[in-house]
Amino acid sequence: MLDQLALRAELSDHYDLAPSTDIAAATADIYARMDRVVTPPDWAIHAPYVAAINTLKKERNAVILAHNYMTPEIYHGIADVVGDSLQLAVEATQVEGDVIVQCGVHFMAETSKILNSSKTVLIPDMAAGCSLAESITAEGIAEMRAKYPGAPVVTYVNTTAEVKAASDICCTSSNAAQIVRAMDSETVIMTPDKYLAQNVARQVPEKRIVWWDGSCIVHEQYTARDLHEFREWNPGTRIIAHPECPPDVVDAADFSGSTGGIIDYVTREQPEKAMLVTECSMASNIADALPGVDFVGPCNMCPYMKKITLEKVLWSLHTMQGAVEVDPAIADRARVAVQRMIDLSARLNS
Ligand code: 13P
Ligand code: SF4
C-alpha cells in the first residue's frame, strides 16, 4: 500500500505543487478541454501537477495510456492516448517510448506489459484492481473446461495474466459478440462476466454460451426499474448502457456499447439529453466536446479506477516505482490469447 504522507513529502522536496493561478493561466489551452466540468479553482490545484507530469514524461521518454474512466484532469491533462480496453491494448503494441504509464487498472497495465514486454510499464497504484479480475483464477478456467469439455474459453480482458494464459482467446466489450460468433464450437465458455456473457448470448443465439459467475461492482448496481423511472420523469433522454450491466438494464437502454462505442454513439447522435449508464467520468470527459448534449441522471464511480490520481502519476514517474512484472512463461501464453483477439477483431472489422 502506498504511504501517502511519504509520497507527498518526497514530491514536495522536488516540485512546487502549491495551487497556482499563474500555472493555471499558462496551461489555459489544456484547461479549455474540460472547463465545463472542472472549476477554475480546481484547475489551479491540478495545473502544477499537470505541468510537472508533462515535463517529466518527456524526460523519461514515457507515454501515458489512459482509460476512458480516468478523471478529466488525467484524461485531458496528461494522457497521450485515451480509449477503451481494446483501443488501449492495440495502442500498447505500438508504443515506442521507454516507459508506459497506465492510467487505468492493474489488468490493463498487465496487458500492456504482455503486449510490449521490453517496456517498463508503471501503474501509479498497484491497488487499482477490478471486481471482475478478482472473481476468477486459472483454476476457475480449468473447472469450466472440465464441466464443458472441448468448448473454447473466451475470456474478458478484465482478468489477470494467469487467467488469460489459461484461456483460448480474449475479448473486450467492443468485440465480445464477434469473437464468440467466430468460435468453431456450438458451446462457448465466457469468463468472468456473467452479464456480458448474457448480453452476448442474446446477440449470438446460434451458440450455447455458458458463463462464470463474476460481475462488475459498478455496472451491476443499475436496475431496469431505475432506467424506466428515469425515462418517465425525463422524457426524451437517450439512455446508453455498458454491456457489463444486467441484460434487463441493457434492454431498457437505447444503445449499448463499450466505453469507446458509447463515446462514438453520443458524438454521432448528439442527443439533447443523454444518460450514460456507466462510470461517472465518461460523461465528464466528453462534455466539453459536446456542448449541445446535456448529460443527466445518476452514474456510479469505480473505486479502483479512482485510485489513479495526478499525484500518484507524478510519484510513479518520479520514482519509477510501480513497475508491473509478468512471469515470462505466463506472459507468452497470455500474449497468444490477447493477440488472437486483436488479430481476429482487426480481420472481422476490415
Ligand atoms: P471498455 O472496454 O468498454 O472500456 O470497458 C472496460 C471496463 O470494464 C472498464 O471498467
Ligand atoms: Fe472493473 Fe467494473 Fe471498475 Fe471496470 S468499472 S475496472 S469492470 S470494477
Using only the alpha carbons of the chain, give its radius of gyration.
Answer: 20
- Ligand that lies nearest to the alpha carbon of residue 107, given by its number in the listed order: 2
As beta bridge partners, residue 102 has 65
Distance CA 287, CA 83 (A): 16
* Spacing, Cα 219 to ligand 2 middle (Å): 8
pLDDT at 3: 85
Amino acid identity of residue 162, one-letter, is: E
Can you tell me which atom of ligand 2 is nearest the CA of 193? 7
Domains and CATH numbers, the chain: 4-130+305-319 (3.40.50.10800), 133-216+328-348 (3.40.50.10800), 219-295 (3.40.50.10800)
Distance CA 109, CA 65 (A): 9
Overall average pLDDT of the 40-46 stretch:
98
Which helix (DSSP H) or strand (DSSP E) does residue 74 occupy? helix 72-75
Please spell the DSSP secondary structure of 111-148, one letter per residue. HHHHHSTTSEEE-S-TT---TTGGG--HHHHHHHHHHS
pLDDT at 193: 98
Whether pLDDT at 2 is above 80: no
As beta bridge partners, residue 238 has 274
Secondary structure letter of residue 186 according to DSSP: S
Distance CA 214, CA 231 (A): 29
Kindly report the protein residue whose alpha carbon is nearest to atom 7 of ligand 2: 216
Distance CA 347, CA 53 (A): 37
85 annotated among ligand-binding-site residues: yes
* Spacing, Cα 259 to ligand 1 middle (Å): 6
Q: Which residues are CB-neighbours of 23 under 8 A, at least 6 positions away?
A: 44, 47, 48, 51
Can you tell me which atom of ligand 2 is nearest the CA of 104? 6
pLDDT digits (tens, 9 = 90+) for 66-111: 999 999 999 999 999 999 999 999 999 999 999 999 999 999 999 9
**Percent share of the chain, pLDDT over 70:** 100
User: Within 6 Å (CB) of ligand 1, which residues are found?
Assistant: 68-69, 84-85, 158, 172-174, 244, 258-259
pTM: 0.96
Query: 271 — phi, psi (to 5°)?
Result: -65, 155
- Ligand that lies nearest to the alpha carbon of residue 193, given by its number in the listed order: 2
* Spacing, Cα 157 to ligand 2 middle (Å): 11
Kindly report the protein residue whose alpha carbon is nearest to atom 3 of ligand 2: 302
Residue 156 — very low, low, confident or very high, per pLDDT cuts 50/70/90? very high
Please spell the DSSP secondary structure of 188-203, one letter per residue. EEEESBHHHHHHHHHH
Taking each helix axis from N to C end, the angle separating 328-348 and 106-115, rounded to the nearest 10 degrees, works out to 90
Neighbours of 208 (CB within 10 A): 13
130 annotated among ligand-binding-site residues: yes
* Helix residue spans in 211-298 (DSSP H): 224-233, 247-252, 259-269, 281-287
Kindly report the protein residue whose alpha carbon is nearest to atom 7 of ligand 1: 85
Residue 38 — very low, low, confident or very high, per pLDDT cuts 50/70/90? very high
pLDDT digits (tens, 9 = 90+) for 261-284: 999 999 999 999 999 999 999 999
pLDDT at 94: 95
Whether pLDDT at 1 is above 90: no
Residue 144 — very low, low, confident or very high, per pLDDT cuts 50/70/90? very high
Residue 15 — very low, low, confident or very high, per pLDDT cuts 50/70/90? very high
CB contact at 8 A, 56 and 318: yes
Mutate to test the pocket of ligand 2, among 217, 282, 301 (most ligand atoms within 8 A of CB): 217
271: left (phi over 0), alpha (psi -120 to 50) or beta: beta
Overall average pLDDT of the 191-204 stretch:
98
